[in-house]
Structure 1
Amino acid sequence: MNVLVVKANNRPDGISTRMYNTFLEQIKENKEVNVSTYDVFEEDTPYFGQEVFSGLGKLHEGVALNDTEQRLLDAKQKAKDVISAADVIVVAFPLWNFTIPAKLQTFIDYLAEAGFSFKYTAEGSLEPLLTDKGVIFLNARGGNYSHPSMAPLEMSLNYMRNIFGGHFGMKVLDEVVIEGHAAAPDQAEEIIEEGLKKVSDLAANLSYQNA
């Protein structure tokens, strides 16, 4: 089984960074998987915009791309390639300002392509194309967004579920959420360690059977 682990936090002390590191450390002991990584902050991931569309248009017409267009299409292709090669995608990401980091959004924008991750049927409805893959979410958020009063503000994990599980059609295999450590600093270490134990157990037990 090929597992891609996506890192979407460049804070060395970030909790989702610790989740990423914990998962990688434990997955080394799992003989059933081949692991690769993709760091959205370390990879060349220029932001998605008009240059992508102009580059795609030029490709269709057989016209030479400029350097910016080529760079963007190369980055987009690499993102698609790493997803194509994976059976299971694990994404470690924080909630920043109620949503996901911009670099993770860019990675998703690279993948959200008609004919790759979804298509439109003859009737005009959307059909996911990545239904043969599984996804696992490792999410950290300092507040208690599971509380009903805060849940409407949570647009990171919910967005990831909608994109990967809904739009792309991947099976959501598992989720580990560490939350509330900033809101309750006196309990922070206990909250974090409990969450990291869940991450470690998840990595140790990941197999074809539960994927």
Structure 2
Amino acid sequence: MTTLLHIKASPRDDGSHSEKAANHFIATLRDRSPELAVTGIDIWDTDLPNFDGALLAAKYARLAGQPFTDEEARAWSRIEAMVRTLDAADIVLISTPMWNLSIPYRLKHYIDLVAQPGLSFSFSPETGYTPLLRPRPVVAILASAGDFSAGLSWGRPDLATPYLREALKFIGLVDAEIVPVGPTAGKTECVLAAAARAARALDDLSARFTGEGA
């Protein structure tokens, strides 16, 4: 059975362009692989622990090779569970809006929590940083009011795409496919065309992931 983990980063209950595109992608995958099992993490409904106190102390204890206190072990176990959930998925799907040129702070919080030494990356002075998660298909749907297909959008840069690609690569989720949905505001024909482009790109990825692509 193929498992897909959907990390949802839009706080909107309806009308989310990233969520609509994600639902389309999941539906096309299910058409091709009816056995697909989907689990979701809604980062707005998930209890993301603050990275301070015992949790921060546990990270530095891990980096120093020191044993955990009981409180540190309890705090670290929550992070271990989050990384296990991420690493168990055969396909990872992230759907997010662009906020202020980058990603929502809650998605950044989630990424900061799962990027941890000994769990998703390692470090040594001889070899530097090494990702620990196994590669697998990763799709990040990025919805924006702007159109960044030709570069800047009204003078604004897209900082979300390079961040997502490098942050995921750092922990082993290499070669993430970033699928833009934009513009999501403005002339109706432009918005509809952007949604159609994203749907076609997601259809191609669905075919490739299920062995039907070229």
Alignment TM class, shorter chain as reference: 0.7 to 0.9
- Cα distance between partner residues in 2 of 1:139 and 1:124: 33
Partner of 1:195: 198
**1:154 has 2:158 as partner:** yes
Deviating more after overlay: 82-91 vs 48-57 = 48-57
Distance 2:38 2:106 in 1: 22
Contact 2:83 2:120 in 1 (8 A): no
Task: Work out which of the residue numbers 57, 66, 82 in structure 1 matches 2:85.
Answer: 82
- Paired residues of 2:161 and 2:178 also in contact (CA < 8 A): no
Q: From the superposition, tell whether residues 139 and 88 of structure 1 become closer, same or farther in structure 2 (CA, over 3 Å).
A: same
Q: Which stretch has the larger CA shift, 184-193 or 119-128?
A: 184-193
TM-score by length of 2: 0.79
1:65 to 71, 88, 111: 71
Code of the aligned partner of 2:8: K
Question: What percent identity do the matched residue pairs reach?
Answer: 21
Change (3 A) 1:17 1:49: farther
Which residue of the partner structure matches residue 19 of structure 1? 21
For 1:97, the equivalent position in structure 2 comes to 100
Q: Give the Cα separation in 1 of the matches to 2:134 and 2:168.
A: 10
Q: Runs of 4 or more off by more than 4 Å in structure 1?
A: 55-62, 72-75
Q: When the two structures are aligned, how many residues end up with a matched partner?
A: 206
Q: Secondary structure at the match of 2:71?
A: coil
State the shift of 1:56 in Å.
5.4
Is the contact between residue 3 and residue 34 of structure 1 (CA under 8 Å) also seen in structure 2? yes
Q: Secondary structure at the match of 1:97?
A: coil
User: Given residue 163 of structure 2, which amino acid in structure 1 is its aligned partner?
Assistant: Y
Over aligned residues, Cα RMSD in angstroms? 3.0
Partner of 1:6 in structure 2?
7
What's the TM-score, normalizing by structure 1? 0.80
Alignment gaps of 5+ in structure 2: none
Give 1:202 deviation, angstroms. 3.3
Name the SS of the counterpart of 1:28 in structure 2. helix
Alpha carbons 1:140, 1:178 under 8 Å: kept: yes
Q: 2:209 aligns with which of 193, 197, 206?
A: 206
Change (3 A) 1:128 1:64: closer
Q: Are the counterparts in 2 of residues 90 and 136 from structure 1 also a CA contact under 8 Å?
A: yes
